[in-house]
Amino acid sequence: MSKLGFVGLGIMGAPMAGHLIQGGHEVYLFSRSAVPQGLRDMGGKACANGKEVAASADVIFTMVPDTPHVDEALFGPNGIAAGLSKGKTVVDMSSISPIATKDFAKRISALGCDYLDAPVSGGEVGAKAASLTIMVGGTPAAFERVKPLFELMGKNITRVGDVGAGQITKVANQIIVALNIEAVGEALLFASKAGADPAKVRQALMGGFAASRILEVHGERMIKRTFDPGFRIELHQKDLNLALASARALGVSLPNTATAQELFNACTAHGGAKSDHSALVRALEKLANFEIGQRAS
């Protein structure tokens, strides 16, 4: 049994922390909102702040929304850094700036601790099912030490390279996901407006080369109009901002990523920032003045 810490217990963090507790570990918990009672009932130990978590645990995980939140969790008043001692490991599983990640790692390393960036893909469904894809940056030794803990939360676990490589991979992942959501939305909208049953179109396409996880999960959301968030539009906007800013710095053009971001922006302008990212289709529907599943005139 290891002593672990987990800071950030939202849609993703709560089930991830739960898997660590179920794995037989002693887990110390902190969130800006109250620690969920369900985690307490499982044996999780609520702490007053990140400093207390870090002082109590040997490996501390963070899972918060954006770069400033990681900065605050690590280095803010009563943050994780204040409770660290030599030999501990900090694992950030948030999706944030690769550049900031390298700076955070340098500052944690100066305290005699290891740092891994380990963003995830799979959304709320993957977090609950412990089937997340985990993309890791950091030293081989630190990765191997933490890998058994990753295996409690995910299935596809890859050390991509040194610190920052995990975040670079996650940005690439978010580009692919956004463009696939847009493609599925366009295809189902086209089929529906042309008079075909979008549910049957999706079923047919799932047996061919167009089959994908996005078509399977988010195609169904688009048809059934179930846009309660597994992954919010505002968070995907944040990730595409990272992609586009990094692309500018690298001198790389990402034209379709920019288009997907504009569609997310349109959704946000209509009050959809907190909807699931599959609701990007709503922007396409407004452009077409037609909703998937609507009877074509």
Q: What is the pLDDT of residues 138-169, one digit of tens each?
A: 999 999 999 999 999 999 999 999 999 999 99
> What is the distance between the alpha carbons of residues 129 and 120, in angstroms, rounded to a whole number?
13
What residues contact 137, with CB distance under 8 A and at least 6 apart? 101, 116, 117, 118, 159, 160, 161, 162, 163, 164, 165, 166, 167, 168, 169
Can you say whether the dihedral through the CA atoms of 86, 158, 166, 122 is positive or negative? Answer: negative
> What is the distance between the alpha carbons of residues 24 and 44, in angstroms, rounded to a whole number?
11
Q: Does the pLDDT of residue 293 top 90, yes or no?
A: no
Contact indicator for 222, 281 with CB cutoff of 8 Å: yes
DSSP class of residue 276 equals B
Q: Does the pLDDT of residue 296 top 90, yes or no?
A: no
The beta-strand segments (E) located in 20-137 are 26-30, 45-46, 59-62, 89-92, 114-117, 120-121, 132-137
Strands 120-121 and 132-137: antiparallel
Catalytic residue among 45, 51, 88, 170: 170
- For 19-47, write each residue's pLDDT tens digit: 999 999 999 999 998 899 999 999 999 99
Contact indicator for 115, 105 with CB cutoff of 8 Å: yes
Q: Does the pLDDT of residue 297 top 70, yes or no?
A: no
- For 183-225, write each residue's pLDDT tens digit: 999 999 999 999 999 999 999 999 999 999 999 999 999 999 9
Contact indicator for 57, 20 with CB cutoff of 8 Å: no
pTM: 0.89
pLDDT of residue 188: 98
Whether 170 sits among the annotated catalytic residues: the reply is yes
